[in-house]
Structure 1
Amino acid sequence: MLKEIRPAIALTILFTVVLGIIYPLGMTRLAQAIFPHQAEGSLILRNGTVIGSGIIGQEFVRADYFHGRPSATTGTDEKGNTIALPDNAANSMGSNLGPTSKALIERIRSDAERLKGENPGMAVPVDLVTTSASGIDPDITPAAALFQVPRVAKARNLDPARLQALVGQFTRPRTLGIIGEPSVNVLQLNMALDAATAKMVR
């Protein structure tokens, strides 16, 4: 019986070492050599300090910042209870509410009404009231960013045209011109907004 078991044990150890250690380490080293920024998490620095990642959304709630998509991610409090924790990268998830869910319909209706109050007469972009599958989407559509210009411009006392130009500057086109949709990274846009405001103050 040992004769039959020995090859199985040897192969298990071999494949564990090759596929569980050597291959992952090799791929990690290769990725770090070819795509160092992406392999390290697409980290975004300000004055040498990490303030976020280009691939993980952050929750912005102040009126003087552009807001990202709603997030359905959750976390736990000190007692271990599940609580809403938007843009929780440790618990990436979407909402499990279906299109006929009353809770989902009411939440979207409430968000849409609030947004209409910020920019009357404009259609609310769908990504400002719907969550992404990951719950941590860092990007919004250019339409969603432009929709927020009046609110941000009022809060910062800036010319809306200047903010529209800033949105255009940070709008990324489709990859290779055909893949995906144009998008705006919310964190990078808000960083540029802070920088532009600081220059005006000086």
Structure 2
Amino acid sequence: MTMIASLAANARNSGAATPPVVDRGAWRGAIGLTILSLAGFGFLYSLAGVGLGQALFPRTANGSVIEQGGKVIGSELMSQPFASNGYFQPRPSAAGYNPMALAGSNQARTNPDLRKRLEEARAAVAQREGVDPSAVPGDLFTQSGGGIDPHVSPAGAAIQIARVARARGLGREVVEKLVAEHTEGRQLGAFGEPRVNVLVLNLALDALAASPAPSIATVSATGR
């Protein structure tokens, strides 16, 4: 009976709950890691990024703003609309060229509304430039993902040369030369595609023409 009682007692003890092991100092490490992460990634990393930007690319880091007569008229990093036929036109924008509301249309390629809008946009560009819709480069009737891409393709600029030259009373070859001078190559010779900054090109046109088209409407760097 003694052996049986001992076995029963062992069975009861083995089923008892084991008290949890609590490391009462673990929370100190967790809080310390949180503070270190916030300081490192939230402050030091940002400070290093700002410092490197100001040291290596100060103009770009500060928005690449362009001033005219002491007023900010735009940025080389953002597109803006131009009303006059004497200016090159940028890509369309789903955000209305508002840098505070950057967005694409977010419509799927299978969406019939997207197809209809693209067809209408292509037809409008073709009518403006006096060409067949099939000749219109894709970037002139499609929106960029951000909505304020400042560049057009060389083909997108070339198709506008005749209109701009006619509106400004300039020879076509003069405008062609200006477009060629403002065509940027691939980054580091390998990345991206050749492109033309529309705002910079239009400002060069104003500086070149004896009788420039109406001056660019003054806008703030934030688009407000």
Which TM bucket (shorter chain)?
0.7 to 0.9
TM-fit CA distance, 1:104:
1.6
Unaligned runs of 5+ in 2: 1-22, 213-224
Paired positions, count: 188
2:42 matched residue in structure 1: 20
Of structures 1 and 2, the larger Rg is shown by 2
Choose the corresponding residue for 1:191, options 203, 207, 214.
203
Q: Alpha-carbon deviations, 1:124-171, whole Å to 9, x = none?
A: 111001111111110000111110112222222222221111111110
TM-score, with structure 1 as normaliser: 0.84
Equivalent position SS for 2:25? helix
Choose the corresponding residue for 1:87, options 97, 108, 112.
97
TM-fit CA distance, 1:178:
2.3
1:5 matched residue in structure 2: 27
State the one-letter code of the partner of 1:103: D
Equivalent position SS for 2:135? coil
State the one-letter code of the partner of 2:121: D
Counterpart mapping for 1:145-184 below 5 A: 145-184=157-196
Retained in 2: the 8 A contact 1:119–1:148? no
Identity of counterpart residues, as a percentage?
43
Distance 2:34 2:188 in 1: 43
1:113 matched residue in structure 2: 123
Retained in 2: the 8 A contact 1:66–1:145? yes
Retained in 1: the 8 A contact 2:150–2:198? yes
Retained in 2: the 8 A contact 1:142–1:182? yes
Equivalent position SS for 1:137? coil
Kindly indicate whether structure 1 or structure 2 has the higher relative contact order, using CA contacts under 8 Å at least 6 residues apart. Answer: 2
1:46 matched residue in structure 2: 68
Retained in 2: the 8 A contact 1:43–1:53? yes
Retained in 2: the 8 A contact 1:68–1:138? yes
Distance 1:134 1:35 in 2: 22
Retained in 2: the 8 A contact 1:119–1:150? no
Q: Alpha-carbon deviations, 1:86-133, whole Å to 9, x = none?
A: 122112221111222222222221122222222225711110011111
Unaligned runs of 5+ in 1: 74-85
Counterpart mapping for 1:28-43 below 5 A: 28-43=50-65
Equivalent position SS for 1:51? strand
Choose the corresponding residue for 2:149, options 137, 142, 161.
137
State the one-letter code of the partner of 2:162: P
TM-score, with structure 2 as normaliser: 0.77
Retained in 1: the 8 A contact 2:168–2:211? no
